[in-house]
Structure 1
C-alpha cells in the first residue's frame, strides 16, 4: 500500500523491492497527482508535506531517489538539499527538483547546492519517469567517493590516500618496504597556455599507458591537479624502486606524446622516498616531493632518492676565519700528502723489505718501465693515426634541416664574453635556419640581461633563457632542451666562436650515420700569459691529435663539452647529469655504451678562451681529473659488460678510463725507486748507462717531443704560426706540467673518495676573434 498525503499522518515504510521515491511537495493536490503517476509506473512512494520533518524521515527511509519542490513558503529547497548532502548516508542520493520555468534562479541555486536534475511544471509524467530511470541507472557519486578519475582512469586523491594509509599500516605489521615516487612532466606549465585544460588529461592518459609496464599488482597511482603523478609501491626496496624509476624515465622521454595532433617530447623528473616507521602520509609525500625538486633542478632524467641526511635539513655555510683558512689550505695540503704518499710511502716500504732481505725494486722498476713504454707507444699510435682522421662524406645524406645551438653560460662570470659569442653565432649563415639559445644562470639580476632581451626582440632566432636555481652547465643544457626546435643541436660554452660553415659540415656527419660529432676547439687568447700559451698547444694536442687518433684506434669518439653536435632526439634521451663534474664525458660514454656513434672532426673548428693563471688552470684540471675518475668508476665495468660494444671498443674504454686512473700513480713510482737506489739501506752506485735503462729512458722521454711535433703538424694555421709556443710547451710540460697533472689526477681521486665535489667556474678574459688562444673545454 502506498502512503500519500491523503492517508494517515503517520508514515509507513515501503516493504517491497520496487524503487522508492521520496516526494517533498507542500501542495496536497499536486502531491496526490504525482503519487498516482509514480505508483502507476511501479514506484513505491513516501511523501512529506514540508522540509521541516522530511530529513529525519528521509534518513529512516533511505529511498532510491528524492523529488522535492523548489523553494516556496513551505519549503526552502536550497537549505534542504544542503542538509541532505551534508549527511554521509544521503550524500549520493539522486535529487530532482520540481520548478516553474520562470524560476531559473531556483534551478541554479538548487544545482549549486547539490541537486542532480530538475523538471519544469506542469510536470510531464513521462518526462519525470525518464529522468528518474536515468538517475537510477547512473546514480550520481560525490567526488569524495569516486574511486577513479573518469578522464584519466587513475585513482582519485581521496581513494589514493586511503590506499596509502592502509599500505603504511601493513608495512608496519609485515616489515615489508614501502616506497613512494612522485613524477612530474616539466614542460606542462609552459604548454598549458597553448593547449588548455585538455593537456593534463591527455598527458595523464598517455602517461598511464607508459607506466603500466612498470607497475606491479600492488602498485597504486594517482594524479593531482598540479600534474604530478604519485606511485605507491608496496613491498619494494629502494634500489628496486630507483631502477623502476630509471626505466620509467627512459620510457617517458623516448615517447612521443600527441596533443591535438601535435607531437611532443616531454621531460620527466622523479623523486623516490622510503617509508620509515612513524612517518605520516603527508610527510611521506612531502619527502618524495623534495626528492622530485632535486631531480627537477638537474633535468637529467635521473631519479633522486630522498636522503634525510642530505635533503632533510638545510646546510649551514660557516663563514668563520678558521673555515676559510681550512678551505684555502685544503688543496696544498692534499697535494703534499699525495706526493708524500706516492713517493715517501713506497720508499719506506722498499727500505723495510730490503732490511728484511727482500729487494723488490728491480721488479717494480720493470713494471713501471713497461707501463711507461706502453703509454708512450699508445701516444705514438694516436699521433700517427691522427694524420689520417675519419672524414665526413662529401655530401649530406639528406637535405639540411633546421638546427639549434645551446650556449651554456655562468653569469656574471661570463658576462663580458657572452654578447660577443651570441653575435658570432648569429653571423653564422646556415641556410636551413639556426636557433640560438643562451641558457644561463645568475645569482642576481644583471644589466647584461636587458641587453639580451633587446637582442631577442631584434632577432627572433635568439632565445635568452634564464635557468632559475641552476648551479651547473648540465642544468642549463637540460633546461634549454625544452625550447629546442632544431633537428640537430650544437652545445657550446659561452666563450666559443664557431666557424661559419660548422653547422653544414656537422650535418654531413649526422646525416650519414653518426649520432654525435665533436669538433676541434682551439685557443684564441694564447698570447695573454704563459699559461694560456701552454694550453693553446695542449688543446692542439688534444683536439687535433688525440681525439681523432683515438677515434680511429678505439672506433668511437668523445664529446668534449663544447663544439659538439648532437641529433636532438638523442640529446633529449641522454641528457647531461649535474651530479657529474665532467657531465660531457659521462654523456659521451653513455651514448657509446648504448650503441650510438660519435665522430671526431679536427676540421670542425671553434675558438675559445683559455685560463690565464696557474690557479685557474689548477682548478679546471682538478675538476676534469675528478670528473674523469667519476666516470671511470661508473663506466669501466659497465662497458666491459655491454653487449653493444665490440672488443676493440671495450679495450678502448679500458685505455681511456682504467689505465688513465692507474697510470699517474704508476708513472710517479720511478722517483721512490731511484731514491731507494741512491739513499736506501742497500744504496749502491747506480750505473745510469745500462743499455735497457738508456733505451727505455730515451724512448719514454722522446714522447714529449713527438707529442709537440704531432701537435704542431696538425695544429690550426693560426696556432702553427707560433712555433715558439710549441718549444715552450715541450720544455714546460716535460719539466713541470706533465708531472703536475699526474699529481693532480691522484689528488682528484682522493677528493672523490672523500666526496669533495665543488664546481669552480673557470675565469675568462676576452680577446678579439683574430687573436690566437683558448679556454675551458667545459
Structure 2
C-alpha cells in the first residue's frame, strides 16, 4: 500500500493477533504501519486511534519541508531554497557558495547495510555542521540551509561568504568529520568526506540552481577520487562532453608528452644559462658600467654558504650521538595495531608476496592486521596468490582501490578501514623488524603522535649504486634525522616505516598532488601540533635502486617534491606562532636552505669565470688563496665526518662493511654530491615548467631491484 502514491499519506492502523508480539509490532511499523493493535481490542480505543490519525494525517519525511529531527531539507525543497537564493537581487546578495558533501565509504556501507544508510550518513554529517558531533567543527556561522539527496549527499548552502573563506571552513569541517567515529546503523565507522563546491555568482540565469548543483556534484566526484579531505572547486574540464572527451584527453596527453620530451633537453641549457651565464653577464656588466666588482661579493657569499653547509652537517652529526632514546616501557597496554602496505601491483608483483609474508611474521603482543592497499590497471596472477595467503591467515586484508593512481589514494582509502589504534605505513618492498610495532608503541604511548623508523637497504650487494644508497641511508636515518630532531625539536615522516596514531592520520591524509606526500603530511601534522619522534633502532629493510637511471628518477621526484613542500609551507611556518624560534630555524634549514644551496654552490663557476676574464686568463689566477683553500678543506672534511658518523651509528650488518663507507666517501666527493645538486637544480626547472610526471620503474627481485 505504501508503494502507491495514494497510500503514502493514508493513516494505516493494523489490527491482528501478531500485534501482541513486540518483534512483530516492530516489523509492521518498519514496513509502514502507523499503529498496531491486537485483535479483540476495545472498539472505543480503536475508534479513538483512527480518529486521531485522521485528524493528524502522517506525512512521509521526504515530503516535509524539513526533517523534524535534523532540520535537513529534502532534495527538492533544498533546490527550491537554492533557486530562491539565486533570485535575490544582486545588491542584497554577495558571494555565496554551494557545496555537496559525499562520502567515499558510501558504496560499501550501502552494500552492507542497505539504502537506509543514505539518510543516516547525511544526518551524521549534519551533526558536525551544526557543531553537535563529538569533534565539533561546525559550519553554523556561515551555513543556514542544509539538505540531503537520495544518494546520501549532504547539500550545503553558504550564502554571503567569499570563496576562500568557504574553502577554509569546508576544509576544517572535513577534518572534523574524518577525526570522528560515527555510529551508522549500529556500526562504528569512520567516514571520508569528499567536498565539491562552486561559487553562486556564476549561476544567476534561469535554471542556474540546477546547473550549480550539477557542478558541485561533479566537483564532489573529483574529490572522491583523491580522498584527501581537500574541498575541490568546480572547473569546466570536469564537465567535458562525451564526444569532446577523447579530443580533450588527447590534447592534454599530447601537451604532457611534448613537455616531458622537451624538459630533459631544455633543463641542462636553462641550468647553465640561469646558473652560470646570467650571473657571469651581471658580474661583467656591473664591473664595466658601474665599476663595481659584484663577483668579489658573490665569492664571499659562496664561501660563507659552503662553510655554513659544512657546519650544519657537523652539528647534526654531533647531536645524533645523543639522540633521544626510546622509552624503556610502554605507558599503556598494547592496543590493536594496523600495518598498511601501499602498492602499485604491476610494479611490485615480483616482491609483494615476500613482503606480505615478512609482515605476517611480525611479533606484536596485541591484535595486528595487515592491510594491503593496492591498485592495478588489470587483474594479475599474483592477486590469486595473495587471496590464498589471506584465506590462510585472516590477519591479511586485501584492499583493491578502484580508480586509484597513487600511493596517496591507496593510503587514504585504507585509513578509514583499519581497526588499529595506530598505523604503520610501509612501501611494498619493506621488511620491518619483528619487534617494530612493539617498539613503535613505546613511543606513541608516551605522548608522541608519529614515530619515524630507520630504513636500511637490504640489497647493497647488487651494484655500486645500491651500495652508495645503502651508506647514504645510514647517513640520513642514523645520523641526519636523529641529529636534526634533537637539534631543532621536531622529526620528519619519511614516507615508509613510519607509525601514526590512526586519528591523526585520518585527519591529515596524504595529498596525491604532492610528489613527496610524506613531507607535505609532516608539515601539516606539525602545524596541527603533532609530536614526531625519530628512532634509528626501529628497523625496516628495503630495496635500493641498482642503476643510475632509476636513481635519477627517484631523486628527481624527491627533489621536486621537497620544492613543492617548501613553496607551500615554508612561509606560513615561519609566520606561525605554533613553532618556536628553534623550530623555525630548523624549518628554514630543512625547506629553505636546501633549495638555495644547489644554486649557491654553482655560483663558484661564474665567479671564477669573471675572475679569469678580469685577469686575462685562467693561468693568471692565484689559486692558492688561503681562505679559499680553508673553505674547500672544511667542506670536504664535513663529508668525511658524516661518513665516519654514519659508520659509527649504522646497523651492525652494514658497520661490518667498512669498505662500503670508504667507497661512499670517494664517490660522494668526486661524483655523488654533484649528482644530487644537479638533480635538485633540474627539479626546480621541471617544477617551473610544470612537468610533474611520476615515472614508475618496475621493481624486480632483491638482487636487481629498481626503486620507484
Residue 81 of structure 2 corresponds to residue 147 of structure 1: no
| Shift in CA distance, 728/168, structure 1 to aligned 2, threshold 3 Å | same
Aligned to 1:226: 151
Deviation at 1:207, TM superposition (A): 2.3
Deviation at 1:282, TM superposition (A): 2.8
Aligned to 1:556: 490
Deviations 1:386-437 (A, max 9, x none): 1222111111111212211000011201111111100011111222122111
SS in 2 for 1:601: strand
**d(CA) in 1 for partners of 2:327, 2:44:** 82
**d(CA) in 1 for partners of 2:346, 2:483:** 37
Which of 280, 296, 316 is the aligned partner of 2:249?
Answer: 316
Say if 1:429 and 1:501, in contact at 8 Å, map to a contact too: yes
Structure with more relative contact order (C-alpha pairs < 8 Å, separation 6 or more) = 2
Normalising by structure 1, what TM-score?
A: 0.80
**d(CA) in 1 for partners of 2:484, 2:579:** 16
Aligned to 2:227: 299
**d(CA) in 2 for partners of 1:508, 1:201:** 42
Residue 604 of structure 2 corresponds to residue 670 of structure 1: yes
| Shift in CA distance, 185/116, structure 1 to aligned 2, threshold 3 Å | closer
Say if 2:146 and 2:154, in contact at 8 Å, map to a contact too: yes
**d(CA) in 2 for partners of 1:497, 1:144:** 53
**d(CA) in 2 for partners of 1:447, 1:242:** 44
Aligned to 1:176: 94
Say if 1:343 and 1:671, in contact at 8 Å, map to a contact too: yes
SS in 2 for 1:693: helix
| Shift in CA distance, 129/721, structure 1 to aligned 2, threshold 3 Å | closer
Say if 1:586 and 1:631, in contact at 8 Å, map to a contact too: yes
Aligned to 1:702: 637
**d(CA) in 2 for partners of 1:606, 1:582:** 20
**d(CA) in 2 for partners of 1:140, 1:717:** 76
Which of 689, 692, 712 is the aligned partner of 2:627?
Answer: 692
Say if 2:98 and 2:198, in contact at 8 Å, map to a contact too: yes
Residue 262 of structure 2 corresponds to residue 344 of structure 1: no
**d(CA) in 2 for partners of 1:199, 1:652:** 48
Say if 2:260 and 2:693, in contact at 8 Å, map to a contact too: no
| Shift in CA distance, 391/115, structure 1 to aligned 2, threshold 3 Å | closer
Deviation at 1:210, TM superposition (A): 1.3
SS in 2 for 1:372: helix
Deviation at 1:365, TM superposition (A): 0.9
Aligned to 1:720: 655
Say if 1:351 and 1:681, in contact at 8 Å, map to a contact too: no
Aligned to 2:208: 280
Q: Which 10-residue stretch deviates more, 233-242 or 480-489?
A: 233-242
**Counterparts of residues 443-482 of structure 1 (less than 5 Å):** 443-482=377-416
Say if 1:524 and 1:607, in contact at 8 Å, map to a contact too: yes
Relative to its length, the structure with more helix (as a share) is: 2
Q: Which 10-residue stretch deviates more, 603-612 or 683-692?
A: 683-692
Aligned to 1:246: 171
Count residues with an aligned counterpart. Answer: 675
**Counterparts of residues 399-418 of structure 1 (less than 5 Å):** 399-418=333-352
**d(CA) in 1 for partners of 2:367, 2:253:** 53
| Shift in CA distance, 292/711, structure 1 to aligned 2, threshold 3 Å | same
Aligned to 2:442: 508
Residue 208 of structure 2 corresponds to residue 290 of structure 1: no
Give ranges in structure 1 of 5+ residues lacking alignment. 1-77, 100-113
Residue 706 of structure 2 corresponds to residue 743 of structure 1: no
Deviation at 1:259, TM superposition (A): 4.2
**d(CA) in 2 for partners of 1:651, 1:189:** 47
| Shift in CA distance, 633/286, structure 1 to aligned 2, threshold 3 Å | same
SS in 1 for 2:379: coil
Deviation at 1:143, TM superposition (A): 6.5
Deviations 1:637-670 (A, max 9, x none): 2222323222211111111111111121112111
Aligned to 2:560: 626
Aligned to 1:75: none
**d(CA) in 2 for partners of 1:606, 1:450:** 27
| Shift in CA distance, 150/450, structure 1 to aligned 2, threshold 3 Å | farther
Say if 1:609 and 1:765, in contact at 8 Å, map to a contact too: no
Deviation at 1:304, TM superposition (A): 1.0
**d(CA) in 1 for partners of 2:197, 2:170:** 8
Q: Kindly report the root-mean-square deviation, in angstroms, between the aligned alpha carbons of the 2 structures.
A: 3.4
| Shift in CA distance, 466/351, structure 1 to aligned 2, threshold 3 Å | same
| Shift in CA distance, 130/511, structure 1 to aligned 2, threshold 3 Å | closer
Deviation at 1:723, TM superposition (A): 2.7
Normalising by structure 2, what TM-score?
A: 0.88
**d(CA) in 1 for partners of 2:161, 2:307:** 51
Say if 2:263 and 2:686, in contact at 8 Å, map to a contact too: no
Deviations 1:519-568 (A, max 9, x none): 11111122222322221111111111111110111111111000111111
